Amino acid sequence: MEAIQARRDGDRRIGRRALLVGGAVAAVATGVLARDELGHLWWRIPGVSKPRKEGDVDYAGARWVAASPANWRMADRPDDYDVDRVVIHVTQGGYASAVKVFRDPAHGAAAHYIVRKDGRVTQLIRELDVAFHAGNREYNERSVGIEHEGFVERPEDFTDAMYAASARLTAGICARYGIPVDREHIIGHVEVPGTDHTDPGKGWDWKKYLRLVEAASASPATSTV
């Protein structure tokens, strides 16, 4: 699939959680960490994470279809990793085929969301977690990935309904994490360092899309959970 670099996020270097836990232990040992600070850091203890409920979504109205656990990594974003990017993808295929591969543990990749041509939004991975969608570990950790049904070489696949639904979704994501609505922070997969992908392609109307995201951001009806 054009939008996904199908390889696992196998870099196991020490992350922020491990460093913070180690720092907290050291601070307790020396009597430096205050009681209220310990309370704030409780969730960083190994084996403890934010409360979750199966089927919960981050975008109101989204349909939940779980991606294979092999295609993402559990995290507690934005506490583990700051979220400051939205990455736009194109599936290079139909909606059903995209869902199928994201549920396949052998695929090794998946995005947080898919937007169909008719505007239907499906969430496959919680925004808390790191989806393997960008082919770059740092960008996976700092971004939310949105797939769009269609083909890069067929801009007619990018319907008005798709643009509008995706813009509302992106506006909600930007509002949750304080992400600026601009081309520095809302990017295509092609702009991820090290990628060999071209999506969303020259046919993706960035001016139209950003206008819609800005309009949705200004609306009190922006749909978030």
In a domain, 112, yes or no: yes
In a domain, 6, yes or no: no
In a domain, 187, yes or no: yes
Query: In this predicted model, what pLDDT tens digit does every residue of 152-171 receive, in sequence order?
Result: 999 999 999 999 999 999 99
Residues 118, 206 within the same domain? yes
Residues 90, 19 within the same domain? no
In a domain, 148, yes or no: yes
Whether the model clears a pTM of 0.85, i.e. scores above it, the answer is no
Residues 178, 207 within the same domain? yes
Residues 26, 126 within the same domain? no
Residues 121, 179 within the same domain? yes
The one-letter amino acid at 126:
R
Residues 175, 126 within the same domain? yes
Whether 191 sits among the annotated catalytic residues: the reply is: no
Distance of CA 183 to the CA centre of its chain: 16
* From 2, 127, 147, 149, the catalytic residue: 147
Residue 130, strand partner residues? 73
Residues 112, 186 within the same domain? yes
Residues 44, 147 within the same domain? no
Residues 110, 23 within the same domain? no
Q: Tens-digit pLDDT profile for the chain (225 aa)?
A: 544 444 444 433 334 433 333 444 334 444 444 444 443 344 455 555 678 888 999 999 999 999 999 999 999 999 999 999 999 999 999 999 999 999 999 999 999 999 999 999 999 999 999 999 999 999 999 999 999 999 999 999 999 999 999 999 999 999 999 999 999 999 999 999 999 999 999 999 999 999 999 999 998 765 444
DSSP letter at 115? E
Residues 205, 116 within the same domain? yes
* Cβ–Cβ under 8 Å, residues 113 and 223: no
Give the residue from 65, 81, 111 showing the smallest Cα distance to 15: 81
Domain range enclosing 35: 13-48
Residues 172, 204 within the same domain? yes
Distances 56 to 48, 61, 64, 125 between C-alpha atoms, Å: 19, 11, 7, 10
Give the residue from 44, 66, 39 showing the smallest Cα distance to 55: 66
**Residue 53 pLDDT:** 87
In a domain, 154, yes or no: yes
- The rounded radius of gyration (Å) of the Cα atoms in the chain is 18
Residues 98, 175 within the same domain? yes
How many domains are there within the chain? Answer: 2
